[in-house]
Structures are given as structure tokens and as C-alpha cells.
């Protein structure tokens, strides 16, 4: 309920009252039963509220029955998260992802909304005014869903192309992952001297950002900031944000950021590990970055104590390197950079002789930028180059020649 209240506040709501119910099974018509509906209706009148938010997913029938009984707008956790996402997405990719999730959520809920359908708005804009156009609306929305899915396939193809281009040079990618509001964007800004929006509100950052970082060893890497995870994240959103989450699966190292000052830090850690496993990133090496240590007592900052507390709810990666930092204050940054240098797969230098076309200036420029050219010999239309280059670059150039 605290997390729901935080989500609601992030969406701009002011909390008037909280109601909790325990029952053996949900009631089909209203979820909460007739008696609780009457109690809720009295609270709605007493506080003169505009909206009632449920922490449980509502079926279209339950939502309609509750709105009729309470005479106010009723939304569930999924719709609340969708509203937040719709207000935060900035790039074309982010807006497409949000709209796809909104349409998939809306489609089974068309029947019965009548003229009230206009309340959802949010740039969807293809719906008719009411029940008389129900089938037309469904066809239009289905067509729009297909169009957005095709566009997102194009986005994924573009991302794959960018990753292939990045992989042509020895630049590893570090992906920041973690529960929403763990401080990922603040850490991203601290590491890369960027000015990405860092806000205490949940889901302040939706659109992925990539920036370069130079490690103490002088190796250059790319750092990617990704969308925060959350408990009970709607499956429609997980599917919609697949293009963004692919950045995590393709990373050489995941910086798993945890708000260690949160009472639910262990549960959040377990949930992020679960989502990483679901998207195929469980085997990617991790560093557990415990953030916001400035909020802890000095006696609570021992990394072994923190490790035991955080892994109490989670299996796997229990031996991951733990680094305590305060992204806001800048504490622990040197230790984190040293740990990244230590954990990141090493890319040793190798000596090789490459046989290139004399006019292949692009490859020659690549060798000069990311390696050391020892000798160059021209024979007619061919060129032999003795180089000292990172093993990854040598391997990729061989693959390119084989194709």
C-alpha cells in the first residue's frame, strides 16, 4: 500500500484515505463485495474524492460495476502505472511503447464505457465516442496495435544495428538496472558527468540513455541507464518495453543498484533478480551497487552485513561484488570504478598481421584509433598491416572478413 501511495503521488494524486480488505476469494462482480462497496461509497462521499485506486487488477466488469456504485472514476494499479508512463515518455520509442501498452489494456475494456471512453485520452485518439461504434473501435485499435508493433520491431532492428556497430570496436556496455527510485539516474549522472533527469518520483526515467565512461585502466566503456523495475509490473508493460530491456541482456556487466536505506531493500533485490532472469539476463556478470549509504548509520555500512541482508530473499549471484556508494554525495565512486575495472571481462592485446584492400581506409582508421599499427606494407591493390589490437577487435575483423 505504501508503494501504491507513492505511485499515486508520482501521478499527481493527493491521498485522502486508505482502505484494506482481507477476504478468502475476490468477488466476481466488484472484487470487494457488496458490504465493502457501501463502506467505500461512504468514504468517497465523506472525503469528496475524484478517483479510487485499487492495488489489484480489475476486470472490465468489476471496473464498470465499481464506477457505477461509487459514482467516481475507478482505476487499478496497471492503469495508474500506464498513466505515469504516458506522462514521462519523451522519445518516439518510449511513446510507442506506452501507447502499445495502453491499447492492449484498453481493448477488452471498450464495452460499457460509452461516452466516458474519452477520459482515457493520452494521445490514443483513434476511438469512437461510444457503444454504437464498438466494432469499428476494436478494428481501429487492432490495426493501430499492429502498426505500433511493426514500428517497435523497427526500433529493435535499429538498436541491434547500433549494438553491432558498437561491438565493431572494443567498447563494452554497462547496464544500470534496479528497482524504481533506487537512484540509477543519479549514479548515471555521477559516473558520466551527464544531466539526465534524476527525480525522487517513481519512473522519473523511462527513455534509455547511453554515455561513454573512461575507467581507471584507461579502458573506455558505454553506460546505459534503463527503466526501473517494480513489483507486479503489468505483463503488457514488460512486453512493450522489451526493446529497452534488451540493452540489459546485451550488456557485458550489470550494475544492479539497490536503495539500501529502504526497509524493502531485500525484497526489491529479489524482484530485480527475478525480472533479470525472465528477460534472459541472469547469467550476465553483476556488481551489486548499494546506494544511499549516506542515510545509514556508520555501523550499518559494512558490506558483508549488507550482503547478508540483501540476499536473504534471493538466490543466485550471492557472490556478486558488493560496493557501497552514495551517488548523491559522491561517496564510494573510486571503489565502484575500481570494481568495474576488476569485474569487467578483460580484453587482452594481441599481435596480428592483417591483409586488407589498399583502399579500406575505414578499417585502417579503426586500427589506428583502437590499436597500435607497427608496420604497413603495400603490394599492388593489397596492404599488409602489423598491429597490436584488443582481442575483441581482432576477432570481429576476422568475422567480417569471413563474411
Sequence spans of domains, the chain: 2-82, 91-154, 170-343, 349-402
Q: Which position has the grid cell 589506428?
A: 368
DSSP string of 160-210, one letter each residue: HHHHHHHHTTT-EEEEEEEBTTSSHHHHHHHHHT------SSTT---S-EE
Share above pLDDT 90 across residues of the chain, in percent, rounded to a whole number: 22
Is 379's pLDDT higher than 50?
Answer: yes
Q: How confident is the model at residue 398 (pLDDT cuts 50, 70, 90)?
A: confident
Q: Which residue has the higher pLDDT, 298 or 387?
A: 387
Q: Per CATH, the architecture of 170-343 is what?
A: 3-Layer(aba) Sandwich (3.40)
* DSSP code of residue 11: T
Is 72's pLDDT higher than 70?
Answer: yes
Mean pLDDT of 267-275: 87
Q: Is 55 left (phi over 0), alpha (psi -120 to 50) or beta?
A: alpha
Is 116's pLDDT higher than 60?
Answer: no
Over the stretch 4-19, which tens digit does the pLDDT of each residue have?
Answer: 888 888 888 899 999 9
Mean pLDDT of 192-197: 74
Are the C-beta atoms of 324 and 332 separated by less than 8 Å?
A: yes
Dihedral angle sign, alpha carbons of residues 124, 126, 128, 130:
negative
Is 30's pLDDT higher than 90?
Answer: yes
Contacts of 365 (CB under 8 A, 6+ apart): none
How far apart CA 353 and CA 331 sit, in angstroms, is 45
Q: How confident is the model at residue 366 (pLDDT cuts 50, 70, 90)?
A: confident
Are the C-beta atoms of 267 and 358 separated by less than 8 Å?
A: no
Contacts of 255 (CB under 8 A, 6+ apart): 174, 175, 176, 177, 187, 286, 287, 289, 340
Is 23's pLDDT higher than 80?
Answer: yes
Does this chain's domain 2-82 share its CATH topology with 170-343? Answer: yes
Q: How confident is the model at residue 129 (pLDDT cuts 50, 70, 90)?
A: very low
Is 217's pLDDT higher than 90?
Answer: no
Q: What strands lie across the sheet with 321-324, from one edge to the other?
A: 209-214, 220-225, 172-178, 253-259, 286-291, 321-324
Q: How confident is the model at residue 81 (pLDDT cuts 50, 70, 90)?
A: confident
Name the nearest CA neighbour of 85 among 94, 77, 74, 93: 94
Is 113's pLDDT higher than 80?
Answer: no
* DSSP code of residue 136: H
Burial classification of residue 9, based on how many CB atoms lie within 10 Å of its CB (0-12 exposed, 13-18 middle, 19 or more buried): middle
Q: How many residues does the chain have?
A: 403
CATH number for the region 2-82 comes to 3.40.50
Dihedral angle sign, alpha carbons of residues 320, 322, 207, 295:
positive
According to DSSP, the residues that pair with 390 across neighbouring strands are 349
Are the C-beta atoms of 65 and 29 separated by less than 8 Å?
A: yes
Integer angstrom CA distances of residue 214 from 3, 191, 317: 37, 9, 26
The alpha carbon of residue 33 and the mean position of all alpha carbons in its chain are separated, in whole angstroms, by 36
Amino acid at each position: 500500500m505504501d508503494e501504491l501511495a507513492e505511485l499515486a503521488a508520482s501521478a499527481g494524486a493527493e491521498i485522502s484515505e486508505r482502505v484494506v480488505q482481507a477476504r478468502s476469494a475476490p468477488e466476481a462482480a466488484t472484487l470487494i463485495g457488496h458490504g465493502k462497496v457501501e463502506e467505500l461509497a461512504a468514504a468517497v462521499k465523506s472525503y469528496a474524492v475524484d478517483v479510487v485506486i485499487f492495488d489489484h487488477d480489475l476486470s472490465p466488469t468489476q471496473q464498470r460495476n465499481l464506477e457505477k456504485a461509487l459514482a467516481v472514476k475507478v482505476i487499478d494499479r496497471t492503469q495508474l502505472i500506464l498513466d505515469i508512463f504516458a506522462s514521462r515518455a519523451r522519445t518516439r520509442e518510449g511513446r510507442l511503447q506506452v501507447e502499445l501498452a495502453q491499447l492492449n489494456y484498453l481493448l477488452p475494456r471498450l464495452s460499457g464505457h460509452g461516452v466516458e471512453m474519452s477520459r482515457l485520452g493520452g494521445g490514443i485518439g483513434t476511438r469512437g465516442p461510444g457503444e454504437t461504434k464498438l466494432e469499428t473501435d476494436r478494428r481501429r485499435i487492432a490495426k493501430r496495435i499492429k502498426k505500433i508493433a511493426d514500428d517497435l520491431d523497427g526500433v529493435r532492428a535499429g538498436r541491434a544495428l547500433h549494438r553491432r556497430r558498437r561491438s565493431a570496436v572494443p567498447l563494452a556496455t554497462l547496464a544500470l538496472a534496479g528497482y524504481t527510485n533506487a537512484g540509477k539516474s543519479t549514479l548515471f549522472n555521477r559516473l558520466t558527468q551527464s544531466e539526465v533527469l534524476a527525480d525522487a518520483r517513481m519512473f522519473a526515467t523511462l527513455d534509455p540513455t547511453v554515455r561513454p565512461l573512461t575507467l581507471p585502466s584507461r579502458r573506455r566503456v558505454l553506460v546505459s541507464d534503463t527503466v526501473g523495475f517494480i513489483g507486479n509490473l503489468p505483463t503488457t508493460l514488460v512486453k512493450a518495453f522489451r526493446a529497452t530491456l534488451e540493452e540489459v541482456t546485451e550488456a557485458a556487466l550489470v550494475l544492479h543498484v539497490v536503495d539500501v536505506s529502504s526497509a524493502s531493500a531485500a525484497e526489491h533485490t529479489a524482484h530485480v533478480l527475478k525480472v533479470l532472469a525472465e528477460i534472459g539476463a541472469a547469467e550476465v556478470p553483476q556488481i551489486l551497487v548499494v546506494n544511499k549509504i549516506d542515510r545509514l548509520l556508520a555501523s550499518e555500512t559494512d558490506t558483508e552485513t549488507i550482503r547478508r541482508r540483501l540476499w536473504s530473499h534471493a538466490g543466485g549471484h550471492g557472490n556478486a561484488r558488493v560496493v557501497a556508494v552514495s551517488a548523491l554525495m559522491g561517496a564510494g565512486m573510486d571503489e565502484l570504478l575500481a570494481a568495474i575495472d576488476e569485474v569487467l571481462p578483460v580484453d587482452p592485446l594481441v599481435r596480428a598481421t592483417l591483409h586488407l584492400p589498399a583502399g579500406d581506409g575505414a578499417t585502417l582508421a579503426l586500427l589506428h584509433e583502437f590499436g597500435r599499427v607497427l608496420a604497413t606494407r603495400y603490394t599492388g591493390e593489397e596492404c599488409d598491416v602489423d598491429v597490436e589490437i584488443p582481442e575483441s577487435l581482432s576477432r570481429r575483423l576476422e568475422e567480417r572478413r569471413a563474411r
